[in-house]
Structure 1
Amino acid sequence: MLTVKLKKNEDRRLRAGHLWIYSNEIDTEATPIKAVAAGTLCRFSDTRGKILGVGYINPTALLCGRLLTGKADATIDTNWFQRRLVSALDLRKRLYPTPHYRLVFGDSDGLPGLVVDRYDDVLVVQMTTAGMEQLKPLVLEALQRVLKPRGILLRNDTASRELEGLSMYEEVIGDVPEVVDVIESGVSFKAPIRGGQKTGWFYDQHANRDRMAPYARDARVLDVFSYVGGWAVRAARFGATSIACVDSSKLALDSALVNAEINGAALDVHQGEALDVLKRLRGEGRLYDLVIVDPPALIKRKRDTDAGTEHYAALNRQAIQLLAPNGILIACSCSFHMDASELQRILLRESRAAGRRLQILEQGGQSPDHPVHPAIPETRYLKSFVCRLS
């Protein structure tokens, strides 16, 4: 196996528990890597030759190495993947009474470049690195051994694959329906895994939706970026008196209506760009007791920070204008490049500009099936504030 040597002192982050190696940290004179195939398994060593562990390398990427294990003599085979999957499964079985959760969350589960969402006997898998793509046969065999799924959908169509020089594709193994069942805290949903966003359902907001219960009771609710109605339908089950959904996707809103019908709820849906719809609702004099603003990542790269920050501000500005006195705003961000303190600053500034007094009641993050790797800040990405505006 190839041994890739790091420059002096560039092993410190790995020794502290991190899993990433950047191209400028590699001693390319001692170990030239230009001709190495993307995704090749290798050992990483410090400048003295001490092995730091086994991982994979992609010489064409800026983030060119990922550590799979700190064991120098590890064999990365189906049995190795099976052990990692069993460990990940043990955690989720403790957390959830039904088999609906994110089974693998990349680095945090010791499987960098791999995401697996479970919908009972159907799995949706994403491989975002060349190394994990090369290891795909082992991953699939291990999943078959551990879970014996009816079907596996490979949604390898995420834009992050382009950074690794990978093509985007979708592949079906076994029996994979267009729509699958999801159960969240006892509430049933249908999720469109074939044509929906990302892997079909946003498990990372499970805990935050649970937290919504006391605020949705007897409330007029507006769910912005509603997707298939995860927040909206949960609000209905918590006793909301009316629910409106806003999304740009007709497929998403049609799915939200189906999910509402399953649960005996009624939705008022508005298709269009969020800011445009919010301004229209404000012009119509609408008021809501609870507004949820849960947009997609608006700051995908650091250079998008200024534009994305203004977008978050504009969305929450309009949401505040639609809140009744003493209304509740649930403001979320899944952009890693916006930290919680910045989102809080936006909420304070916009509430003061609107002449409203802001109280932060609760603060949340991603659900525990998206665990945080303590050495990798990027794995802590979701922020959620529950605010009262009087």
Structure 2
Amino acid sequence: MTNTEEQKPAPLPVVRLKAASPSPNLYKRMIDDDSAARSGDIVAVQDKRGAPYGIALYNKKSQIALRLISRQTPDTFDEDEFFASRIERAVSFRRDVLKLPQTTNACRLVHDYGDGLPGLVADLYGNCIVLEFYSLAMYRRSATIEKALRRFFPEAEFAHRASQYTENMEGFSLPRKFGAKVAHSLRVTENGVHFEVKPHEGYKTGFFCDQRENRQYFSQFAAGKKTLDVCAYTGGFGLYAKKGGAADTTCVELDEDACKVMKKNADINNTRLNIVCADAFPYLRQMGDNGTRYGLVVLDPYKLVAGRELMERGIQKYRDFNRLALNLVEPGGVFLTCSCSGIVSMYMFEQILRTAAGSCGRRVQVFKKAGAGPDHPVMVD
């Protein structure tokens, strides 16, 4: 046996399907035989006739038992080369096509299925990269992922995160939330606006890069306007409004820790925000009863529909939120409303807005529809 032959990777475990799907997600019920595979493996998937179907992440415990990552045949698949190639393509897209380093040092480097790496999100904050895992198999390859990213960010420190829900569903737990060298807080810049980010706490990976382009667009309407930022988190839209020349900006946020960061963000931008640490629902009702009106209002709530079983209740919350917020927009004012609930479609959200507008007697013109920034791509399969 030659040295070359000895260095060949071991054959991938095989999982055979009894039914296929155009989706990259393959569920337990679609599997005929997975006896050779263990949770966390990368496996060779075969169709019901035994023909190669692709390469996938496997987890027996998860409802999404297989997450397809490639249509390669097993004999051409090399794990290290696969991760290096996918990450190189993802980083090059942000750097060379989007040219994000010209305007920010905070962006999403890897966006899950959109970059062909399901179960992985990687966010860059200065010299820190936060890896958020949604898959056991991805988590087990964290060292390989870090190695691939270090080619482009040799000085980076890495923090690992996963939600309790993901840990329970995927069957793993993080032994550490962040590396010993990762700072408690970092400062990033986005279109000239400065933010403090805490990579080891707060929602998701510590900041919402997905709203960058929407914040910038929002700011162009702010000059001289009295502005309201509802569910402000750490003040993203409010700070952009001040950058755009808003006369007065009120930010409403329930999370006390987020309000503290928001105050610091205002300080480091040498500006002032009227920060209200309160539940947005009663606050909006109170302002409506007082006859308070704003020229510019943004509503960006937390995910109100986390699952299909919560759809009806969540949609009603969206209606109520939008009705209360719309009631505070002065005639001729601008209202930006957002949803981060992936299972609520754009069409459904438009119906929510239509109902909310009708219930408070307002006529609404929709002049722009948008989504997450371009560093959050969606793959068309």
Give 1:384's aligned residue. none
Give 2:108's aligned residue. 102
Question: What SS does the aligned partner of 1:104 have?
Answer: strand
Report the alpha carbon displacement of residue 186 of structure 1 after superposing the two structures with TM: 2.3
Give 2:8's aligned residue. none
**2:5 matches 1:4:** no
Question: What SS does the aligned partner of 1:172 have?
Answer: coil
Question: What SS does the aligned partner of 2:213 have?
Answer: helix
**2:84 matches 1:82:** yes
Single out whichever of 74-83 and 202-211 deviates more from structure 2. Answer: 74-83
Report the alpha carbon displacement of residue 150 of structure 1 after superposing the two structures with TM: 3.4
CA distance in 2 between partners of 1:252 and 1:324 (Å): 28
**2:147 matches 1:141:** yes
Q: Is the 8 A contact 1:153 1:173 kept in 2?
A: yes
User: For each residue in 1:254-308, what CA deviation from the matched residue of structure 2 results, as whole angstroms up to 9, or x when unmatched?
Assistant: 1112111222221111112110221222233321111111011110101100000
Give 2:47's aligned residue. 46
Trace 1:1-390 onto structure 2 (pairs within 5 A): 1-7=12-18, 10-13=19-22, 18-28=23-33, 31-32=34-35, 36-72=37-73, 73-93=75-95, 94-95=97-98, 96=100, 97=102, 98-168=104-174, 170-173=176-179, 175-375=181-381
CA distance in 1 between partners of 2:315 and 2:159 (Å): 34
CA distance in 1 between partners of 2:131 and 2:300 (Å): 24
> Aligned pair count?
365
Report the alpha carbon displacement of residue 205 of structure 1 after superposing the two structures with TM: 0.8
User: For each residue in 1:28-81, what CA deviation from the matched residue of structure 2 results, as whole angstroms up to 9, or x when unmatched?
Assistant: 3xx436xx4211121001112111222221112111001222111244433321
Q: Is the 8 A contact 2:177 2:200 kept in 1?
A: no
1:2 aligned partner, one-letter code: P
Q: Is the 8 A contact 1:78 1:141 kept in 2?
A: no
User: For each residue in 1:315-374, what CA deviation from the matched residue of structure 2 results, as whole angstroms up to 9, or x when unmatched?
Assistant: 111101211122211110010121111211121122122222111111101101000112
Poorly superposed stretches of 4+, deviation over 4 Å? none
Q: Is the 8 A contact 1:223 1:232 kept in 2?
A: yes
Report the alpha carbon displacement of residue 161 of structure 1 after superposing the two structures with TM: 3.0
2:28 aligned partner, one-letter code: S
| TM-score relative to the length of structure 2 | 0.91
CA distance in 2 between partners of 1:82 and 1:54 (Å): 16
User: For each residue in 1:176-227, what CA deviation from the matched residue of structure 2 results, as whole angstroms up to 9, or x when unmatched?
Assistant: 1111122212222112222221101101111111211332221111101101
Single out whichever of 237-246 and 195-204 deviates more from structure 2. Answer: 195-204
Question: What SS does the aligned partner of 1:173 have?
Answer: coil
CA distance 1:261–1:103, change in 2 (3 Å): same
Question: What SS does the aligned partner of 2:252 have?
Answer: strand
| TM-score relative to the length of structure 1 | 0.89
CA distance in 2 between partners of 1:265 and 1:45 (Å): 59
2:32 aligned partner, one-letter code: D
Runs of at least 5 residues in structure 1 that lack an aligned partner in the other structure: 376-390
Report the alpha carbon displacement of residue 145 of structure 1 after superposing the two structures with TM: 3.1
Runs of at least 5 residues in structure 2 that lack an aligned partner in the other structure: 1-11
Give 1:379's aligned residue. none
Report the alpha carbon displacement of residue 172 of structure 1 after superposing the two structures with TM: 2.5
Q: Is the 8 A contact 2:227 2:295 kept in 1?
A: yes
Q: Is the 8 A contact 2:250 2:273 kept in 1?
A: yes
RMSD across aligned positions (CA): 1.7
CA distance in 2 between partners of 1:310 and 1:357 (Å): 20
Question: What SS does the aligned partner of 2:152 have?
Answer: helix
CA distance in 2 between partners of 1:207 and 1:24 (Å): 40
Report the alpha carbon displacement of residue 158 of structure 1 after superposing the two structures with TM: 4.7
1:146 aligned partner, one-letter code: F
Identity of aligned residues (%): 30
CA distance in 1 between partners of 2:317 and 2:346 (Å): 16
CA distance 1:240–1:259, change in 2 (3 Å): same
User: For each residue in 1:216-242, what CA deviation from the matched residue of structure 2 results, as whole angstroms up to 9, or x when unmatched?
Assistant: 221111101101111100010011110
CA distance in 2 between partners of 1:322 and 1:117 (Å): 35
CA distance in 1 between partners of 2:207 and 2:130 (Å): 10
CA distance in 1 between partners of 2:361 and 2:178 (Å): 53
CA distance in 2 between partners of 1:66 and 1:76 (Å): 17
2:13 aligned partner, one-letter code: L
2:20 aligned partner, one-letter code: D
